[in-house]
Amino acid sequence: MEKIDLTIVVPIYNVEKYLEECLESIYRLSIKKEVILVNDESQDNSYLIIEKFKSLYPQITVVITQKNKGLSGARNSGLEIARGKYIAFIDSDDYINTENYECFFKENKDKKLDIIMGNFIRKKNEVETICNKNRFKIDNIVEGKYFFETMILYNNFYVEVWDDIYRKDFLVENKLKFKEGLLHEDILFSVEVFEKAKRVKYINSEIYTYREREGSITKNMTLKNSYHKLYIAKNFLKNTDIQRLNNLELLIINILWSEFRFNSLIEKEIFIHLIKRIKKISKIKSILKLMVIFISYPFSKKIKVESIK
């Protein structure tokens, strides 16, 4: 059986308008690859585009058709059967910048990295903005823990997974996968993988174009989104491995502040935990956010997050 360097998993749900451009950008790669297309019970004509690419590239295409499990479930389905040494998760309404992506991967695939990180371009109404993940200029191979702690300290932590590539055995050996039924799943997944990763390399290259569009999860925030983000923050407090990360409180404060600012929501246990550990918090701005919440506490909506509902 021919060696596969890279598995690309593409969850697909009602994206017929964008899917062809996404897949064309992936199949143009000359990397030894397999492409796993996960049809997550699409109700539009996405299945016709899936069939088209399966017929054009039968040797390197695997199609999974499943009852709707959401983005996390679709990614996990691909991870379970992936045969590549490395694995990438590409959203089907975006596309990769093929030439950059190919150089990015080929130059680093033999370095035994757990995570290879790149930049992305945010595209909104045809206006493009480069999002640089490494303002603090770490150019060598480092531990994931150090990279995460530095990103948080510089307020430059990007949680998305689609502009990163992961060593598959690293994910499997550490039992790392996406929590199903969870919105904003990339936050939890990214912190978990950085905590475990021993070899992380950042490459200053724009490998991915993220299409910010109406109808996406991030554009349609509801109380359910807030509840799930607070659930993630509370999960960090209970995970003894993650608790070893320095500057973790800064990330938790940002999540708590976001939901307080936009929805007047406060998760009581998270807030109390942060107040007790205020001496450990290194940034004045984060302390000020906590103080504002403290003053507003009697007038806010206090909730207790236990599990995903």
Beta-strand relationship, 127-131 and 164-167: unpaired
State the Rg of the chain over Cα.
20
pLDDT tens, N- to C-terminus, the chain (309 residues): 578 999 999 999 999 999 999 999 999 999 999 999 999 999 999 999 999 999 999 999 999 999 999 999 999 999 999 999 999 999 999 999 999 999 999 999 999 999 999 999 999 988 899 888 766 677 899 999 999 999 898 888 889 999 999 999 999 999 999 999 999 999 999 999 999 999 999 999 999 999 997 655 454 458 899 999 999 999 998 898 898 899 999 999 999 999 999 999 999 999 999 999 898 898 999 999 999 999 999 989 988 887 654
pLDDT of residue 307: 61
What pTM was computed for the model?
0.93
pLDDT of residue 309: 47
pLDDT of residue 201: 95
The one-letter amino acid code at 179 reads K
Angle between the 223-238 and 248-263 helix axes, to the nearest 10 degrees?
Answer: 160
Q: How many other CB atoms sit within 10 Å of the CB of residue 108?
A: 18
pLDDT of residue 133: 75
Cβ-based neighbours of 157, under 8 Å, separated by 6 or more: 148, 151, 251
The one-letter amino acid code at 300 reads S
pLDDT of residue 240: 86
- Domain ranges in the chain with CATH number 3.90.550.10: 6-218
pLDDT of residue 282: 85
Tokens representing residue 279 in the block: 């001496």
Contact (CB, 8 A) for 38 and 80: no
Beta-strand relationship, 86-89 and 127-131: unpaired
Quick one: which H or E segment has residue 7? strand 6-12
φ/ψ of residue 129, rounded to 5: -130, 130
Superfamily of domain 6-218: Spore Coat Polysaccharide Biosynthesis Protein SpsA; Chain A (3.90.550.10)
pLDDT of residue 136: 66
Rounded to whole angstroms, the Cα distance separating 89 from 10 reads: 6
